[in-house]
Every structure is written in structure tokens, then in C-alpha cells.
Amino acid sequence: MKASIALALLLLAGCSTLTLAPSDFAWPIMSELTADKNGNVKEERYHLSFNIKPLLFEELKDSVNVAGKSLSVIRDRQGFYYVTGPKFKKVYIFQHTTDGLGLSTSYEVQPAGLSNPEFEQRPPNIRLRSGRDSWLLTRHGVTTPPAPSGGAK
Amino acid sequence: MKGLKILSALAFVAPLALLMPSFAASQERSDFQTVKAFEAQTKTVAASIDAVQTVQECADVALAIDRIQEEFTPSKGLLDKALYGEKFDERLSRLRFQLKLAQDKLGIIESQVTRIAELEEQVRALSGEVERLSGENLKLMGDVERLSGNIRTLGESNAVTGALVDSLKMVIGQLQKGIKERDQMIFALVDSLFQQYAKPVDQLADVEKRGLALRMDRNNIVTGVKTSIENNLKFLERAELKGSDLAAILQEHQRFSSQWKGLGPKLASLYLSNKQKAKELAVVDTLLAAWSAKARDAYWRGMNAAFSSKQIVVKPIASGNELVSNVTAYINERLTSERPGDEKLKEFNRFDALWQAEMTNGWLPLMESRGDLSADQRKLVEAKLQEWRESFEGTSPLTYAILFAVIVAILAALYVKMKKK
């Protein structure tokens, strides 16, 4: 009995995750990615590429006219991707999965649609600016109500 | 080939001119826009370095790099993280090194570039001053209008206060000073621009001429000169100006005209092939002629106003000759008039006070300097005034004593003669 308990403990220790911390996945500056005719976007600096058709369909109900459509993307310290674009009402939070970028969550920020959205690093938050408005975001939602740009730091 | 050089100069200076710092805008910029602007500006500078041909162009690039540094230093932290492959300081050092290589290739000495860059900085500062003074002068002109309006309105009900008149005088004084300062700044700015080229305009190469012309345009020199004349014209039209104000304006006109005489032909030679600019220069000449005419009109108007403001009825004067003849006629009339002595003395005192206050130190030297009055003419009119002054000087007691002694002597002689008979 004692031997089997010791074996089980040994097996559990062997399966525990090795974590390298602290870690920082943040991009210092957002990227503006433009889709090609197939809906693919590419981030040269970080060697990242993905297809935005499903996202455009989800947000704009249009996955046909995708060529030239642009998205604003930034990554926070934990490695979550914040994605939005012109005319989007929502911000989408993605994370890596083995199949691609998987949606973690999404939430509405501007019911009328964002005009020219830009993300900025404001640790521990991400700031979203659109025209004269700005919001402080986390991967769970908006932490502050809309404020004029420069107001929310 | 020549055309190509001119085009290359145009292609060179125009993009750099867009690199003026815009701090208000930079404060509003997002991180993304800041990085994008920095990338774009450093890219423009790098392209300009490849195109440099003259020492002035090298100085322009050196200044553009300085301006980028000045504008983006507050965002250094962000740029250090966001730039790909190099940091903020490294990017600027790379540009400076690239410029140094270009200079060496052209055989340009660093000290020349530094000197021209200093002059260009001076131009930038003066240009800012001109802009500031233009704004202030515009505001002062508005104040003069408002105060004059108040005085006119209140004048109808005899309610004009001394304080209001003093305020107007003060604002007019400030405006006059502001206009003069702005005129000086414009010419100082032009000097700083010409000093960057160590040769007379007609000896400059085409590419240098083009560069200088573009610098002139960038600083709105011709428009600035036009504005100066227009402001002076507007100021001259003010009815509230007194003799002393006008004398100062006329001096300013003389100074401005002689400076333009030096600058005008240089600009004409610079804009030889630019019809639009040639037209603008002609407009400056026309405006200057209008200013001359108005100044001349104001000159005599001011002098006649000096007499009429003291209720001294001298016939209108419009030349040095008329000053002598009309003042002489006025004094002669007073000398022969049959009025009580007190009244005549009062009239003399009023005239003499005005003469000493406004003519002796104001108008007469100005007339002499403009060649409107000769030294002999001045002596003549001053002698007439002296004659008038002497007419009030009574006979002295000594004269009476001598007269008495003479009469006594004559009587004594007569008495002795009669006694002998």
C-alpha cells in the first residue's frame, strides 16, 4: 500500500507543469494588419498570420468583401490578442490554440461602431482609442466608461 | 540637366519643410501615430540625405534631424521599444553619420554646415517673432478701433474722459512700437537668409538660387513685407495721430524704403523666372509707392494739424518754401495788427510754445533730413520769429537814462548858446 502511494506521488510530480515566470508577451505598439483577397493577414515582425474571414462575418456579417479590410491588433502581457477594426462594435480577445487563434471573450465598447480604433499598452491595461473617446480594457472587459482621449491613462 | 537640378532642389527642400515640429499635435497623437510619424520623418530625412547637393541643403538636413530629436524625445521610451532593430538614439545617430558621409563626398566642411544651421535657427526664431508681433499688432489695431469708436460716441455727448484719451494714446504708442519691431524683424530675417549664401545673388548657382527662393517662400518674406507696408498704411490713416507720431512714422517710412531699395532688386533677381512672384514684388512696389504718397500727405497734414490744433491760422503748407512764406506772412500780419498788447503777447506765446515743442525738435530736422527745407530757409523763418519775439521786448531803463542825458545835454547847449547871445 505504502509503495503504491509513493508511486502515485512520484507520477503526479512528474506530470506537474513547468512555468517560466515572470514572462511578458506584450507588443509595445499595436499593429495595423490589412487583409489580402483571401482574408489572410500577416504580422511580419512577430511572424504571425491568421485568417480574418470568420471574424468579419461575426462582426460585420460579411466574409466576401475582405480584401483591404484592416484590423488593429495588440498583445497584452499575458499573451492575449486584442482585435478590433473600423466599424466594429466589439473588441475580441483571442489566445493561441493548437488549431489557430481561439476566441477567449468579446465585449461591446461602442454600439455605434468604432471609427479608427487604436490600441495602446497601458499596463496593466490596454487602452483603446477611437476618435476622441478612449477606454481602458482588460481581457475580461472594459474597466472604465468611455472618456475623452488622454483622460484615461 | 539644369532643369533636373532645379527639380531636385524642389524635391529636396519641400519634404523637409513639412518636418516642422508640431508639439500640439504630438501631444494628441496616439502611440501608434507617434511611431508612424517618427518612421515617416526619419525616412524622409534619409531620402533627403541621398539628394543633398549644397551646403545649405546639408544644413537643412542637420536641422531636420535636430527637430525630429526635439519633437520625439518625449516619446523616446515608447520608440525604443517599438522600433524594430534599432533604438531611438541609434536611428538618429545613423542619420547623422549618413549626412556626414554625404558632406564628405561633396567636400563640405562641417563648420560651414554648423554656421548655416545656426543662421537657419535664427531665421526660425525671427520667423516666430514676426508671427507673434503680427498677432499682437492685429489685436492692438482692434483696440485702437474700439477706443476711437468709444471716444467718437462719447464725444457727441461731451463725456470723453482724460483716462480714455490717455488709453488711446498708450495703445497707439504700443502699436507704433509693435509695427516698427515687426518691420525690423522682417529685414533681420531676410539678412539671416542671405547670409547663408556667401555670394551675391547674381553669382549664385541655379540650384542655390532655387534653394534660397524656397527658403524665402517658406518664411513668407514677400507676404511679410507686404503686410508690414499694409499695417503702416492702416496706421497712417488714423485720424488721431499727432505731429510727433507722424514724424516717427515718416522716419520709419524712410528707413523701410531704403531697406527695400537694397532687398527689392535681390528678390527680383531671385524670382526672375517666377512670374507669380514677380507680380507680388510689383505689388510691394505699388504698396510702397502708396505708402510714400500717404506718408507725404500725412507729413504736410501733420504739420498743418500741429498749427490748427493750437488755433494758429497759418495758411496750409505743402513745401519748405511755403513754410517760410506762410509763417512769415502770419507773423507779419500779427506784427502790424491793431490789437491790444495783451492779446498779441498771448498769441505770440501760443505760437512760440508750439514752435519750440513740435517744430524745433520735430518737424524742422525731419524736413531738413528729407531735403524739404534748406539751412538758409530755416534761418529765415527763425529770424522772423525772433523779430516777433523782440517786438515784445520793452525799452530798458538805461535807454531812458541815455535819452534823458542826451535831452539834458541838448537843452544845456541851447541854454548856453542863448545866454551868449
Are A141 and A128 contacting, i.e. CB atoms less than 8 angstroms apart?
no
B360 phi-psi bin (left φ>0, alpha ψ -120 to 50, beta other): alpha
Are B31 and A121 contacting, i.e. CB atoms less than 8 angstroms apart?
yes
Cβ neighbors of A108 (< 8 A, separation 6 or more) are A89, A90
Q: Closest residue of B to A121, CA-based? A: B31
Cβ neighbors of B29 (< 8 A, separation 6 or more) are B37
Q: Identify the CA nearest to B33 among candidates B25, B23, B21.
A: B25
**A4, pLDDT greater than 70:** no
A 72-131 → B contacts, CB under 8 A: 118-121, 129
The grid cell for A129 is 482609442
Say yes or no for a CB contact (<8 Å) between B30 and A32: no
Say yes or no for a CB contact (<8 Å) between B33 and A118: yes
Say yes or no for a CB contact (<8 Å) between A149 and B30: yes
pLDDT given at position B141? 87
**A123, pLDDT greater than 60:** yes
pLDDT given at position B16? 62
Report yes or no: B395 at the A interface, CB cutoff 8 Å. Answer: no
pLDDT given at position A122? 94
Taking residue B168's Cβ as centre, other Cβ atoms within 10 Å add up to 20
Total count of residues recorded for chain A = 153
CA angle at B107 for the pair B102 and B109, rounded to the nearest 5°: 90
Residue with cell 507520477: A11
**Cα B103 to Cα B356: distance, rounded to the nearest angstrom:** 64
On the CB side of B186, CA atoms within 13 Å amount to 23
Say yes or no for a CB contact (<8 Å) between A29 and B84: no
Say yes or no for a CB contact (<8 Å) between B82 and A29: yes
Q: Closest residue of A to B84, CA-based? A: A45
Which amino acid appears at position B205 of this protein? A
B 2-41 → A contacts, CB under 8 A: 27-28, 30-33, 35
* Helical axes B110-156 vs B162-195, angle rounded to 10°: 160
Q: Is A137 helix (H, G, I), strand (E, B) or coil?
A: strand
Of A29 and B165, the one with more pLDDT: A29
pLDDT given at position A9? 53
Closest approach of A30 to chain B, Cα-based (Å): 6
CA dihedral B318, B321, B323, B325 (to 10 degrees): -120
Residue with cell 510691394: B284
Closest approach of B225 to chain A, Cα-based (Å): 40
Q: Identify the CA nearest to B48 among candidates B98, B109, B107, B122.
A: B98
The grid cell for B355 is 514752435
Task: Tell me the whole-structure pTM to 2 decimals.
Answer: 0.60
CA B339 to chain centre: 48
Say yes or no for a CB contact (<8 Å) between A28 and B78: yes
**Cα A115 to Cα A3: distance, rounded to the nearest angstrom:** 66
Those residues of chain B that have pLDDT short of 70 are 1-27, 155-160, 239-244, 247, 394-400, 421
Fold (topology level) of B122-294: Methane Monooxygenase Hydroxylase; Chain G, domain 1 (1.20.58)
Q: How many CB pairs below 8 A link A and B?
A: 27
Say yes or no for a CB contact (<8 Å) between A129 and B33: no
Report yes or no: A28 at the B interface, CB cutoff 8 Å. Answer: yes
pLDDT given at position A52? 95
pLDDT given at position B413? 85
Closest approach of A73 to chain B, Cα-based (Å): 11
What DSSP letter does each residue of B241-310 carry, written as one string?
A: --HHHHHHHHHHHHHHHHHHHHHHHHHHHHTTT-HHHHHHHHHHHHHHHHHHHHHHHHHHHHHHHHHHTT
ipTM here: 0.82
